[in-house]
């Protein structure tokens, strides 16, 4: 199985950015742990601060199973605003799981709204960087079906 994790805007700052909300671990550490824990799964990773680049990544990797078997997407603030990313997800042929590090349901009202949630296979939120591991666990079930 091959999964692609896409992180959106400001998530390049993980470990430095608002550690009281997002923790002090970097995404590199998180990826190292995921790859150690799931050696049977190929886990690719991309991060972009640009909406169009995220859309291009979904098109490139999600339009056929030749790209990957599933996408784990933390679209950051675009989760709450981007109809364009929602349209890209709706067009994808592989499942997309929405991930958030923080519990967006317990934060400001704008963060309780997800533009992308309705077109995603499911959502994992609020477990810190462990949200990514839980999404990989979910894919083990989704892809086996
Ligand atoms: C986030 C939550 C978003 O509201 C925020 O804009 C982010 C990170 C999270 O992982 O908790 O950038 O997606």
- Decide whether any atom of ligand 1 lies within 6 Å of the 23 Cβ: no
Tokens 């991930």 found at: 99
- Decide whether any atom of ligand 1 lies within 6 Å of the 2 Cβ: no
- Decide whether any atom of ligand 1 lies within 6 Å of the 61 Cβ: no
Q: What is the pLDDT at residue 65? A: 66
Does pLDDT of 75 surpass 90? yes
* Range of weakest confidence among 114-118, 125-129, 138-142: 138-142
**Number of Cβ within a 10 Å radius of residue 99:** 26
pLDDT, tens only, 99-110? 999 999 999 999
Q: Please check whether residue 91 is in contact with residue 70, taking contact to mean a CB–CB distance below 8 angstroms.
A: no
For residue 87, the CA-to-ligand 1 centroid distance in Å is 20
Give residue 66's pLDDT band: very low, low, confident or very high (50, 70, 90).
confident
Q: How far apart are CA 75 and CA 80, in angstroms?
A: 9
Determine the length of the chain: 145
Q: What is the mean pLDDT of the chain?
A: 96
- Decide whether any atom of ligand 1 lies within 6 Å of the 68 Cβ: no
Q: What residue's CA is closest to ligand 1, atom 13?
A: 76
CA angle 72–47–22, rounded 5-degree value:
75
For residue 92, the CA-to-ligand 1 centroid distance in Å is 22
């Amino acid at each position: 199985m091959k999964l692609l994790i896409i992180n959106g805007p400001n998530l390049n700052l993980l470990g430095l950015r608002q550690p009281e909300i997002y923790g002090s671990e970097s995404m590199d550490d998180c990826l190292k742990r995921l790859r150690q824990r799931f050696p049977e799964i190929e886990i690719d990773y991309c991060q972009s601060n640009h909406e169009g680049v995220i859309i291009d990544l979904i098109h490139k990797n999600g339009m056929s199973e030749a790209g990957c078997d599933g996408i784990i997407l933390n679209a950051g603030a675009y989760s709450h605003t981007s109809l364009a990313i929602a349209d890209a997800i709706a067009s994808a042929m592989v499942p997309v799981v929405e991930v958030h590090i923080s519990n967006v349901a317990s934060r400001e009202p704008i963060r309780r709204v997800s533009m992308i949630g309705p077109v995603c296979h499911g959502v994992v939120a609020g477990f810190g960087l462990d949200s990514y591991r839980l999404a990989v666990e979910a894919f083990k079930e989704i892809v086996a079906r």
